[in-house]
């Protein structure tokens, strides 16, 4: 990447900003402190009940793969696969620690179609119908590995319950069929500069749309409130083509063993499992 390129600079600024967020290890450390406080204040029995019935939601990987693509633009397929396994391994380690502390219900949001964001389209001079294949390939590999990893945990950990929200496919559907979901613009961001308004939102000479609710993306890499709300609705009570083996609403109500989840879905004939609207 040519670091003198202003678009490349924008990507580096974005990555530098998001790296100031709390990392996974620190979040786990904070959670352990919360568990300790719960037990001190409520006693072991009540704290264990709260931990057992809580849902632990994670959506991890996007930042990692943006960073990897930026730092290793010529990575081989083997290097990409190895990196995906590192990311998945880190997720599994944290999930196992939460499980050891009493967590039993886990919701995973898989990685978005990272190569199709306005930021990548603008950075790589792509057309509206194109996506950057290398970053997109990382996202697909991660999502396949996440399914495999979750199924392994389901076998290894008694009482482990999980769902996976197919954020990748759902956002792809929304982005390439915006009118179906109530949007007018899915390629150009609401706020920013450049071909796709993908950079410098709020900085210098940028454009701001009049109605963000007509847009899927607010800036080069983040969705509008309306798009997030639409996806949240599907996560909450969508069918198995969106979230499986159950949706978030059903997971919150679920008090079954992992082996019973599939049976629960099969017996639930009128739960709207095939309709994502």
Indicate whether 61 pLDDT > 50: yes
Q: What is the pLDDT of residue 10?
A: 52
Average pLDDT of every residue of the chain:
86
| For residues 66-86, average pLDDT | 92
User: Does this model's pTM top 0.75?
Assistant: yes
The pLDDT-based confidence of 273 (bands split at 50, 70, 90) is very low
> Stretch 116-125: mean pLDDT, rounded?
94
Q: Is the pLDDT of residue 153 over 70?
A: yes
What are the residues whose beta carbons fall under 8 Å from the beta carbon of 235, sequence distance 6 or more?
Answer: 109, 165, 242, 243, 247, 248
Q: Which of 15-19, 159-163, 238-242 bottoms out in mean pLDDT, i.e. has the lowest? A: 15-19
Q: Are 32 and 94 in contact (CB under 8 A)?
A: no
Query: What is the per-residue DSSP string for the chain?
Result: --TTSHHHHHHHHHHHHHTTSPPHHHHHHHHHHHHHHHHHHH-HHHHHHHHHH-EEEE--SHHHHHHHHHH-TT--HHHHHHHHHHHHHHHHHHHHHHHHTT--EEEEE----GGGSHHHHHHTT--TT---HHHHHHHHHHHHHHHHHHHHHHHHSTT-EEEEE-HHHHHHHHHHSGGGGT-SBSSS-SEEBTTTT-B-TTSSS-EE-S-GGGBSBSSSS-B-HHHHHHHHHHHHH--TTTEESS-HHHHHH----HHHHHHHHHH-TTS-TT---
Q: Would you place residue 22 in the very low, low, confident or very high pLDDT band (cuts 50, 70, 90)?
A: confident
As given in the structure block, the two tokens for residue 5 are 């390129």
| Per-residue pLDDT band at 217 (split at 50, 70, 90) | very high
pLDDT value at residue 241: 93
Q: How confident is the model at residue 23 (pLDDT cuts 50, 70, 90)?
A: confident
The stretch 245-267 carries a mean pLDDT of: 63
**What's the rounded mean pLDDT across residues 95-108?**
95
- Among 151-155, 210-214, 266-270, whose mean pLDDT is lowest? 266-270
- Residue 265 confidence (pLDDT): 36
Q: pLDDT band at residue 69, thresholds of 50, 70 and 90?
A: confident
| Per-residue pLDDT, 63 | 87
Q: Over 140-180, what HEC string results?
A: HHHHHHHHHHHHHHHHHCCCCEEEEECHHHHHHHHHHCHHH
Report the pLDDT averaged over residues 50-75.
Answer: 91
Mean pLDDT of 243-268: 64
Candidate from 60-64, 91-95, 204-208, 266-270 with smallest mean pLDDT: 266-270
pLDDT tens per residue, range 30-51:
999 999 999 999 999 889 989 9
């Amino acid at each position: 990447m040519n670091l003198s390129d202003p678009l490349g600079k924008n990507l580096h600024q974005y990555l530098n900003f998001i790296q100031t967020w709390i990392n996974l290890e620190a979040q786990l450390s904070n959670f352990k402190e919360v568990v300790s406080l719960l037990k001190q204040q409520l006693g072991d029995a009540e704290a264990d009940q709260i931990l057992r019935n809580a849902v632990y939601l994670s959506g991890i990987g996007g930042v990692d793969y943006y960073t990897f693509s930026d730092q290793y633009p010529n990575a081989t397929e083997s290097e990409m696969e190895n990196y995906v396994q590192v990311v998945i391994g880190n997720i599994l380690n944290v999930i196992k620690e939460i499980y050891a502390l009493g967590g039993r219900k886990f919701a995973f949001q898989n990685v978005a179609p990272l190569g199709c964001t306005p930021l990548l389209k603008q950075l790589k001079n792509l057309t509206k119908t194109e996506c950057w294949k290398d970053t997109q390939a990382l996202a697909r590999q991660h999502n396949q590995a996440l399914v495999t990893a979750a199924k392994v945990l389901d076998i290894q950990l008694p009482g482990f319950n999980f769902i996976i929200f197919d954020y990748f496919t759902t956002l792809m559907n929304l982005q390439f069929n915006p009118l179906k979901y109530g949007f007018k613009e899915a390629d150009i961001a609401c706020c920013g500069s450049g071909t796709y308004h993908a950079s410098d939102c709020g900085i210098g000479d940028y454009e701001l749309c009049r109605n963000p609710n007509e847009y899927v993306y607010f800036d080069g890499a983040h969705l509008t409130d309306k798009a997030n709300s639409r996806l949240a609705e599907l996560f909450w009570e969508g069918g198995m083509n969106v979230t499986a083996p159950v949706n978030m609403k059903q997971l919150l109500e679920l008090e079954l063993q992992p082996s019973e989840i599939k049976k629960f879905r099969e017996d639930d004939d009128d739960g709207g499992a095939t309709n994502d609207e």
